[in-house]
Amino acid sequence: MTNTWQDIKNANVVLVMGGNAAEAHPCGFKWVIEAKIENKAKLVVVDPRFTRTASVADIYAPIRPGTDIAFLSGVIRYLLENDAIQHDYVRAYTNASLIVKDGFAFEDGLFSGYNEEKRSYDKSTWDYELDEQGYAKVDDTWQHPRCVMNLLKKHIDRYTPEMVSRICGTPQDKYLEICKLIATTAEPAKALTSLFALGWTQHSIGAQNIRTMAMVQLLLGNIGVAGGGMNALRGHSNIQGLTDIGLLSASLPGYMNMPKDGEVTFDKYMETKLFKPLRPGQTSFWQNYRKFFVSFQKAMFGAAAKAENDWAYDWLPKLDVDGYDILRAFEMMNNGQMNGYICQGFNPMQAFPDRGKIRRGLSKLKYLVVMDPLDTETANFWQDYGPQNPSKPEDIQTEVFQLPTTCFAEENGTLVNSARWLQWHWKAADAPGQAKTDLWIIAGLYNRMKTMYAREGGAFPDALLNLTWNYADPHEPEPEEVSKEMNGRALADVADPATGAPLLKAGQQLDAFAQLRDDGTTMSGCWIFAGSFTDKGNMTARRDASDPREAGIAPNWAWAWPANRRILYNRASANPEGKAWNPGKPVIEWNGSKWVGVDVPDYGPTVKPSDGVGPFIMNAEGVGRLFARTMMNEGPFPEHYEPFESPSENVLHPKVKSNPAARVFASDRAQMGVSSDFPYVGTTYRLTEHFHYWTKHALINAILQPEEFVEIGEVLAKEKGIEQGAWVKVSSKRGQVICKAFVTKRIKPLMVDGKPTHVIGCPIHWGFTGVARKGYGANTLTPSVGDANTNTPEFKAFLLNIEKTSPPPAIDVAQGPRNGPQKKGGSL
């Protein structure tokens, strides 16, 4: 989230599109209700299904899964055509006036620079025209045909209301009603908040869905202000923390990049990191990259990371591909290129697409380690045989090690929530049985490997042997110790570079990332967390809920990265002179000598409004990007592409149907179905009553939602002769699920390009372990194709068929895997 949960109450319009907050975020959703009641906010919901969120909406519109870019591009067209943009904001705080290079082009669905063989772009034309000093050229009058504003107008011109309705199946009157309401927030004192989750991310054009909305928000002047923002409602309680500390395979902590194998030296690596400002006087904050990186290396390798060895740069792994994401890992397993796999708190048999492929991959491993408090489908993958899985358990040679762990309630630690708050939690109970903490297990693995390397040597012992491991008990580090390490501390006395005055004493915990140094005198495991655990104490354990100005900012509750800032880009809440756009809800303002307000300002108190420093301090141009330069892999502007499996042609450019840069392996392409065999659109989602694949192990949840089902509309049910509760066979090119049909009024056929299109909804929660009835799992059906930027699988739009069928033979709930052998227990 750029903003916070509490801040939602400040919105005038709440747009829930690409998610179902009332069901997936029921606690946070109270702030939407608060906005409706206290702030007279209007709630708009755009979802293929009429959800519980939709049930309290002022306007609900249906949409065909995978077509949000067309819808939102249409919104941009509407805003520009009706002059409903916040002009002063757009001029001062976006790149609308910057001039793009000659040579940039878009034709027949492709941007300039496409390489069909590699399925990727040479992005060199997707950039600004520079002047002699290396600054982007500007035309404030918006006359230049290649200024971003004019290119944008041209690009979105095709998305007329007729075209939007033709692609999305959304009735035109509903769509225009929504455009009109969204447009009201172009007023400086009005804000719209965008709440989204997987309905936008889980597509082959997922990241561009979100970008399109970010562009809408920039045009409306809704970023950085109270009640505005782009608010990703995140999933697991600590999934924000997962990305923050660099657990994605191509990242290092704090959103730094893992080195690539071409970056053979530290200097070469740094060449692409220090973004020189693209406009005069801009902050371009990543210029501090070296400080963050060197401090990270000092946290990793301590005294062994020295200037002479380039801070042990050589000890970091180098990527030979874009990243070892999960789709790639399973592709490699299937190709026999991966021997072992450690699943820590991960159940890919349930969670990843094309379950047949997941199972085949796991079957080829030599060993599989599962660290989990529960007995998962992944740990038992070898049991899941039957009609869809020809291999028998005795034919699978994979050795499975199950290491039972504690769960969050059985240990101390922090969770980072969607609002970027690090919140400490306290252990509530001892773990049962032989369960051990993840820290104990990882420490055990590390200590054993270190001993083996020290004793026997090995191909590359340096990184392992030099890893910092200064914990009081090396066999079980305390969460507090790890948190302090993430925050970072001074390794020597540090002086203020400007005045020479002493700033930090050796050993002192850092108060802020501004104190980080690139000379080896500071260390920090994750620079954005600097300030979370200082010598004053554990800031994440703070529980003061007071909110002095009722602004929706409780500055002393937990700690938010960066710098305890609650609203990102909050400089944009004030006009270029430093006065709040919305005097009723100011965030920060210039009082003549400094920045004051309810939140921690974006940058230092001495930066005057007249200095002209833009609010988007991470960007080299200092402004928000309507044209995304070289950032995205499929284009600097968003474009509508069909899902990889879709019943519709791409009416904008039939030759380029789907995202030309999306991640798809050849073997997966062969597994794509066509609409003549699979005529309906499938989508998958969660239910309030279950949390993923855990709660089927809990009796109460298993009683609330006992068994697998799919939802279909009444029209389709009638066409196919399927009664309420009938057994159906739901199939895709990759597999089939036999479950009950739930016939509902909440899913209606959509008229897409003149044809009725039916959506089949598949909740995701059932499998073959736990106490709920056994199910196949929705990912038996889903395709293995990933977004071009994030590799997030396309779980939300694919092709299905559905037929009435007789009950499957093994529905006795006391049996084990539906397709598998008898197993004791597991009855409801």
Ligand X SMILES: Nc1nc2c(c(=O)[nH]1)N[C@H]1C(S)=C(S)[C@@H](COP(=O)(O)OP(=O)(O)OC[C@H]3O[C@@H](n4cnc5c(=O)[nH]c(N)nc54)[C@H](O)[C@@H]3O)O[C@H]1N2
The residues binding Mo ion (CB under 5 A) are 235
d(CA 260, CA 269): 8
Stretch that binds ligand X, among 244-252, 261-269, 368-376, 447-455 (CB under 6 A): 368-376
Give how far the C-alpha of residue 799 lies from the chain's centroid of Cα atoms, to the nearest Å.
24
Tokens (6 digits) for 725: 């509760």
| Interaction between residue 316 and ligand X (CB under 6 A) | no
Residues 442-481, interacting with ligand X (CB under 6 A): none
The β-bridge partners of 415 are 423
Kindly give, in sequence order, each residue whose CB lies less than 8 Å from that of residue 460, ignoring residues fewer than 6 positions away. none
**Beta 42-46 vs 13-17: how paired, if at all?**
parallel
Does residue 483 interact with ligand X by CB under 6 A? no
Per-residue x/- marks for ligand X, 197-216, CB under 6 A? xxx--x--------------
Amino acid identity, residue 311?
A: W
DSSP characters over 726-758: -EEEEEETTEEEEEEEEEESS---EEETTEEE-
Q: Which is nearer to ligand X, 418 or 570 (CB)?
A: 418
User: Which one of 113, 171, 302, 345 is in contact with ligand X (CB under 6 A)?
Assistant: 345
Q: Is 254 in the site for ligand X (CB under 6 A)?
A: no
Instruction: Mark 383-422 with x for binding to ligand X (rule: CB under 6 A) and - for no binding.
Output: ----------------------xxxx--------------
Q: Does 764 bind ligand X (CB under 6 A)?
A: yes
Contact of 186 with 220, CB cutoff 8 Å: yes
Give least dist CB 640 to Mo ion, A.
25
**Between 73 and 240, whose beta carbon lies closer to Mo ion?**
240
Q: Per rule CB under 6 A, is residue 435 in the interface with ligand X?
A: no
Selection from Mo ion, ligand X, none that 453 binds (CB < 5 to 8 A by kind) is none
Among 7, 68, 589, 634, indicate the residue that binds ligand X (CB under 6 A).
68
Interaction mask 667-696, ligand X, x per CB under 6 A? ----------------xxxx-x-xxxxx--
Of 47 and 127, the one with the shorter C-beta distance to Mo ion is 47
68 binds, among ligand X, Mo ion, none (CB under 5 to 8 A by kind): ligand X
Closer of 101 and 686 to ligand X (Cβ): 686
Nearer to Mo ion, 89 or 693 (CB): 693
Helix boundaries (H) for 140-247: 148-156, 161-168, 172-183, 198-201, 206-219, 239-244
Residues 786-815 that bind ligand X (CB under 6 A): 795-797
Q: Considering CB distances under 5 to 8 angstroms, the limit depending on partner class, which of ligand X, Mo ion, none binds residue 57? A: none
Write the CB contacts of 590 (distance below 8 Å, at least 6 apart in sequence): 574, 577, 578, 579, 608, 609
Smallest separation, CB 601 to ligand X (Å): 32
Determine which residue in the list 94, 240, 347, 757 makes contact with ligand X, applying CB under 6 A.
347
b/e burial code for range 725-747 (CB count within 10 A of at least 16 → b): ebbbebbbbbbbbbbebbbbebb
Indicate the residue whose CB is closest to ligand X: 235
Nearer Cβ to Mo ion (198/738) = 198
Q: Choose among 39, 27, 31: nearest CA to 7.
A: 31
User: Does 235 engage in binding with ligand X (CB under 6 A)?
Assistant: yes
| Smallest gap from residue 404 Cβ to ligand X (A) | 9
By CB under 6 A, residue 240 contacts ligand X: no
Do 826 and 696 form a contact (C-beta atoms < 8 A)?
no
Supply 65's token pair: 């899964």
For residue 825, the minimal CB distance to ligand X (Å) is 18
Of the candidate residues 61, 371, 516, 802, the single one contacting ligand X (CB under 6 A): 371
Total residues at interface with ligand X (CB under 6 A)? 54
Taking the C-alpha atoms of residue 599 and residue 420, their distance in angstroms, rounded to an integer, is 14
Residue 199 binding partner per list ligand X, Mo ion, none, with a CB distance cut-off of 5 to 8 Å that depends on partner kind: ligand X
Say how far apart CA 631 and CA 2 lie, in whole Å: 19
Report the C-alpha gap between 295 and 256 in whole angstroms.
12
* Contact with ligand X (CB under 6 A) among 152, 358, 664, 778: 778
**Left, alpha or beta for 795 (phi > 0: left; psi -120 to 50: alpha)?**
alpha
Beta carbons within 8 Å of 230's beta carbon, 6+ residues apart: 1, 2, 194, 196, 210, 213, 214, 217, 223
Say whether residue 600 binds ligand X (CB under 6 A). Answer: no
**Angle formed at CA 598 by CA 595 and CA 601, multiple of 5 degrees:** 40
Residue 371 interacts with which of Mo ion, ligand X, none, CB < 5 to 8 Å by class:
ligand X
CB of 123 to Mo ion, least distance (A): 30
Chosen from Mo ion, ligand X, none, partner binding at 66 (C-beta under 5 to 8 Å by type): ligand X
* Segment interacting with ligand X (CB under 6 A) among 75-83, 153-161, 524-532, 776-784: 776-784
- What does the radius of gyration of the chain's CA atoms come to, in whole angstroms? 27
Q: Taking the complex as a whole, how short is the minimal distance between the CB of residue 236 and Mo ion, in angstroms?
A: 6
* Residue whose CB is less far from ligand X, 313 or 693: 693
Number of neighbours of residue 119 by Cβ within 10 angstroms: 16
Please say which residue, 25 or 211, places its beta carbon nearer to Mo ion: 25
344 binds ligand X (CB under 6 A): yes
Nearer to ligand X, 715 or 810 (CB): 715
CB-based contact 722:802 (threshold 8 Å): yes
65 touching ligand X, by CB under 6 A: yes
552 binds ligand X (CB under 6 A): no
Structure token digits, residue 685: 């989602």
Q: Is 66 in the site for ligand X (CB under 6 A)?
A: yes
- DSSP code of residue 625: -
In the complex, what is the shortest distance from the CB of residue 20 to ligand X, in angstroms, rounded to a whole number?
A: 3
Please name the helix (run of DSSP H) or strand (run of DSSP E) that holds residue 590, with its range, or none: strand 588-590
Instruction: Give the CA dihedral 698, 704, 706, 711, nearest 10 degrees.
Output: -130
Q: Name the CA dihedral angle for 795, 799, 801, 802, rounded to a multiple of 10 degrees.
A: 30
Binding-site partner at residue 197 among Mo ion, ligand X, none, CB < 5 to 8 Å by type: ligand X
Q: What is the DSSP letter of 430?
A: P
Please choose which of Mo ion, ligand X, none residue 49 contacts, taking the beta carbon within 5 to 8 angstroms, the exact cut-off set by kind: ligand X
Peptide bond just before 562 cis, omega within 30 deg: yes
Looking at the Cβ atoms of 580 and 802, the one nearer to ligand X is: 802
Cα 63–Cα 65–Cα 71 angle in degrees, nearest 5 = 50
Please select the residue that binds ligand X; options are 14, 44, 46, 574, rule is CB under 6 A.
Answer: 46
Which residues 13-32 are close enough to bind ligand X by CB under 6 A? 17-21, 24-25
Among residues 505, 482, 483, the alpha carbon closest in space to that of 495 is found at: 505
By the rule CB under 6 A, 346 interacts with ligand X: yes
Query: Nearest distance from residue 343's CB to ligand X, in Å?
Result: 8
Residues near ligand X, by CB under 6 A: 17-21, 24-25, 46-49, 51, 63, 65-66, 68, 197-199, 202, 235-236, 344-347, 351, 371-374, 376, 405-408, 438, 683-686, 688, 690-694, 764, 778-779, 782, 795-797
